[in-house]
Amino acid sequence: MWGTTLLLTLHAISSLAQLTLPTPPFLPPNISSGAQSSTGGYPNPKWSSLLGTLLYFYDEQRSGTLPSTNRVPWRNDSLILEGRDVGIDLTGGYYDAGDFSKDTFPLSFVLMSLCWGATDYGKGYDLANQTTYLDDTLRWGLDWLIKAHPNETTLVVMVASSDEENTYWGGDRSIPSPRPVYTITNNLPGTDAAAGASAAFAACSGLYAGKGFNNNSYTPPAQLRNDSYAATLLTHAEQLYSFAVNSTNGRKTYQTSVPQVAAAYSSSGYGDELTMAALLLAWTTGSSTLYKDAEDFYTKYELAKSNRVFNWDSKTPGIAVLFAQVNQASSSLGGNFTVWRDRAENYFDDIINKKGPGYLTEDGLLFFDGDSDDASLNPALNTAMLLERFVPMASNAEKKVAYQDFAKQQVDYILGKNSMSVPYIVGVNPNSPKNPHSAMASGGDDVGTIDTDPAVEAYILYGAVVGGPDKRGRYFDIRSDWPQTEVALDYNAPMLTLAAMRVIGDTKDPYFTSLQAGAYDKVKPKGKPCDSVFKEGCEGPHLGKKATIALAIVITIVGLVIVGLSIWYILLLVRSRSGKVG
């Protein structure tokens, strides 16, 4: 009785700390409604509910004691004593992907990306009535990241799924615990992880402070403003920045200090995180000293040379866009908008004009060899997100059109305009993936029979963006095939910002409403994939459809020529013989 009262009081206190969620709650619409077009109106109701469904995915990934407002009926409290054995309260936060690890480095990128997106497209969240859920989602991540940073020079970088040899596959009620907790400290620094977390805190502090990029079209949601929370976040951002820059044991990638993180999220360098943290802090605090730090890091670590994809590890393409935005908004920091606009355009123009680093597959997906081999959609989505965001800053009308069209084509691809007719988001259309690689959603508890037990995935993981098809456009929808079917916090991040943009600016339905049930079943590839999990599908020619047709034509022509020549030769022989005989 007393316990219940205390619990209720605690709930009441925690719900005061953030915006009040609506009753009844927003829930993802049913799957069949995703094959029906809307009746129109502004904002477009299909884009609005897609934004809500994409956010709902983060509710599904929650760890810890779920609040009374939990919307996911099949989720339970889990790991409610996490960290107690090492004296740090690490309950809460998010499970990173299809299993149960908590990974600070990609989480920081996700929070930074969501806060940056909401800073520009807050109006989209407002129009869709999703701002309270945005707040709820961000705080569930940020409040955990605060706990993972118990003092100035300590940051938890990973709570592992379970011990390394023995990855747990099963529901959320029997996750083995306690679990290994890995931290970086002054003695064992991780410049990238500390700077990445600093960037997340800085971006989100700016968002909660209501700081937009001084453009009435681009504003954070007004409702979100909370100066005391913004100040708390800023303190963590500043401390982590100092820790990253000035660690007594030098600057190092975090896997140098904590090798256990390498298998999942090894970092390729820390120059980009240092730049991003300095730049976001400069913008949030208006400091020209920090701004100069950001430019100096960009030069010192030769980031211009590492301009490939934008993702949890590699931030350079986004950094140029952010520099341009910061300089367009403020001339007092000492930068030059034109310089950064041109850097961003050089990168985008290379992609659009097929000069690398990515290229369009025959199926129409922007593909970066290496980076797109697993989870092919993520690099394409992040590029589309950066392109659309950059459009208003582009130097001329032709570029604006070209960038917008290219981005739209990628978004349409992800929403089902592809040779599989699959919208690569779970639960939004009858053709959506049905077997996302997610231990929680699968309902199985034996990784050895992951594909067959149970036959049908137990729970629909609404709103999860999956890894994506292979280079040939083929999508197999096999649960164990994590390169194609896994879900992750960072796969959803760019799609959220893109959806918020579309809520503001697109009155047409998302592409998938035109896809009717059964479309995927007609074209579903036979056999097995060819990727890091399956090798079976690697035999045979690896040609796209057009190349196969072209090859068939060439073979036919060559064959006809050989047959023709042979007949001619035989006739010739016959004639010459008959001539001799005759």
Ligand X SMILES: *[C@@H]1O[C@H](CO)[C@@H](O)[C@H](O)[C@H]1NC(C)=O
User: What DSSP string runs through 491-555?
Assistant: HHHHHHHHHHHHHHH--SPPGGGGPPTTHHHHHPPPS---SSS--GGGSS----HHHHHHHHHHH
N-to-C CA span, the chain:
119
User: What DSSP string runs through 298-322?
Assistant: HHHTTGGGG-S--SSS--HHHHHHH
Give the H/E segment covering residue 9: helix 2-16
Residue with smaller CB distance to ligand X, 357 or 505? 505
Q: Where are the alpha helices (DSSP H) in 148-270?
A: 191-208, 227-246, 254-257, 262-265
Closest CA to 127 of 54, 223, 220, 43: 43
* Footprint on this chain of ligand X (rule: CB under 6 A): 16-17, 30, 32-33, 43, 45, 48, 74-76, 87-88, 128-129, 150-151, 154, 171-173, 215, 217-218, 226, 228-229, 241-242, 245-246, 328, 336, 338-339, 342, 392, 440
486 is catalytic: yes
Residue with smaller CB distance to ligand X, 169 or 413? 169
103 is catalytic: no
Show Cβ contacts of residue 334 under 8 Å, excluding neighbours closer than 6 positions. Answer: 288, 291, 292
Residue with smaller CB distance to ligand X, 50 or 530? 50
The catalytically annotated residue of 135, 345, 477, 481 is: 477
The catalytically annotated residue of 486, 490, 506, 509 is: 486
**Shortest separation between residue 496's beta carbon and ligand X, angstroms:** 16
**Shortest separation between residue 406's beta carbon and ligand X, angstroms:** 17
Instruction: Please answer whether residues 496 and 397 qualify as being in contact, where contact means their C-beta atoms are separated by less than 8 angstroms.
Output: no
**Shortest separation between residue 233's beta carbon and ligand X, angstroms:** 10
Residue with smaller CB distance to ligand X, 347 or 413? 347
**Shortest separation between residue 530's beta carbon and ligand X, angstroms:** 31
**Shortest separation between residue 533's beta carbon and ligand X, angstroms:** 23
Question: What does DSSP assign to residue 447?
Answer: G
Joined together, the tokens standing for residue 421 give 């007719």
Question: Which residue lies nearest ligand X, judged by its C-beta?
Answer: 171
Please name the amino acid found at residue 63: S
**Shortest separation between residue 391's beta carbon and ligand X, angstroms:** 7
Q: Where are the alpha helices (DSSP H) in 247-336?
A: 254-257, 262-265, 271-285, 288-300, 316-329
Residue with smaller CB distance to ligand X, 343 or 471? 343
Residue 526 CA to residue 541 CA, distance in Å, equals 15
Instruction: Please answer whether residues 282 and 296 qualify as being in contact, where contact means their C-beta atoms are separated by less than 8 angstroms.
Output: no
**Shortest separation between residue 339's beta carbon and ligand X, angstroms:** 5
Residue with smaller CB distance to ligand X, 43 or 117? 43
Known catalytic residues are: 477, 486
